Amino acid sequence: MLFVFIILGELLRTNLFNRLQCVPPHNDIGKVNLAIKSNFTYSIWGSSTAYMNVNSAFIEKATNTPTYNFGISGAAFDQLLHLQSFAENNVNKTIIWIVNPYEFESYDYKLEASQLFFQWQDQPVIHSYFKSKSFIEGVGLKYFGWYGISKLNSKHWNYIFNSIVDIEENVNGFIGKNTSFRTVNNFYPINICKPRERRIELFRKIASEVAKKNKLIIILPPVIASISFLNFKKQIEQPEYTVIDHNENSLFKDSLLYQDNVHLNINGANILTKQIIKDLESI
């Protein structure tokens, strides 16, 4: 009887996790699912400054190359488990990673990773992440069916029974907004930001792993604040990948190109995207 109970838990957990894995890419969990299953030649990664600032459909059309924007709202650089899995699962792809220096200071995490990556315990990077947070949880999620089921929260159940929730209209993952500038999201002080050394080391480690089998291009996005990222750029640079600082680009000093202090509007995004296409051609 106990054996039957255990097997039933395994079968039910597998079914529920599979249903989570099938949520389509019209929301963040769907983007994670697509990232782990896909092999796009060009891909864009990061937080909202990725999916609002870089027009992936524009890159696809200009280069005639499959392109997708996998940016996730509120994701810090060390929470992009779908990026690390994509890099592990693919070879010779061009990965464009939009990196925000403010994430390297005293960062307040906005994303709960279990919401988006929970269902992919068969991916080594993701399983290792959960196991590093809690050995019991990592092992339980992968090997004990009823434990995994018990950890499903209301968000997961919502996705399981209604996959068309949290819909955000996007084109190849890009969400362009034609809005006027607002003084919000002012994450940068006037003085040069001073990143924490521990987070610099962690980023360099993750970036090196991502670049092992693929071409990695790091983009420092433009911001409206009068601040330089040149020192930060030097700190994160390594021979394995390219770092390009578009905050130094004089094209992005006009507030008419921004929807707030760190996010470009659709006009600014298209200009930055054209610059990135030039970057791709020159590297």
What number is the average pLDDT over the span 216-221? 97
Q: Where are the alpha helices (DSSP H) in 43-97?
A: 48-51, 56-63, 81-89
| In the predicted structure, residue 47 carries a pLDDT above the cut 70 | yes
Residue 194 Cα distances to 78, 103, 232, 233, 243, angstroms: 18, 11, 8, 12, 18
In tens, the pLDDT along 140-182 reads 888 888 898 898 888 888 888 876 666 666 789 898 888 887 7
| In the predicted structure, residue 266 carries a pLDDT above the cut 80 | yes
Token digits for 184?
Answer: 């919000």
Please report, rounded to a whole number, the percentage of residues in the chain having pLDDT higher than 70.
Answer: 92
Eight-state DSSP code of residue 264: B
Give dist(CA 204, CA 140) in Å, integer: 30
| In the predicted structure, residue 219 carries a pLDDT above the cut 90 | yes
In tens, the pLDDT along 23-35 reads 888 888 999 999 9
Amino acid identity of 173?
G
Give dist(CA 125, CA 89) in Å, integer: 10
Work out the burial of residue 166: count CB atoms within 10 Å of its CB; fewer than 13 is exposed, 13-18 middle, 19 or more buried.
middle
pLDDT at residue 166 in the model: 67
What number is the average pLDDT over the span 32-49? 96
pLDDT band at 195 (very low <50, low <70, confident <90, very high): low
Give dist(CA 136, CA 133) in Å, integer: 9
| In the predicted structure, residue 201 carries a pLDDT above the cut 80 | yes
DSSP state letters, 91-106 = SS-EEEEE--GGGGSS
44: three-class secondary structure by DSSP: strand
126's enclosing H/E stretch is: helix 124-133
pTM: 0.91
In tens, the pLDDT along 107-137 reads 667 677 677 898 999 999 999 999 888 888 8
Q: Taking Cα atoms as reference points, which of 243, 161, 158 lies closest to residue 207?
A: 243
pLDDT at residue 176 in the model: 85
Work out the burial of residue 180: count CB atoms within 10 Å of its CB; fewer than 13 is exposed, 13-18 middle, 19 or more buried.
exposed
What number is the average pLDDT over the span 258-278? 94
pLDDT at residue 104 in the model: 85
| In the predicted structure, residue 188 carries a pLDDT above the cut 70 | no
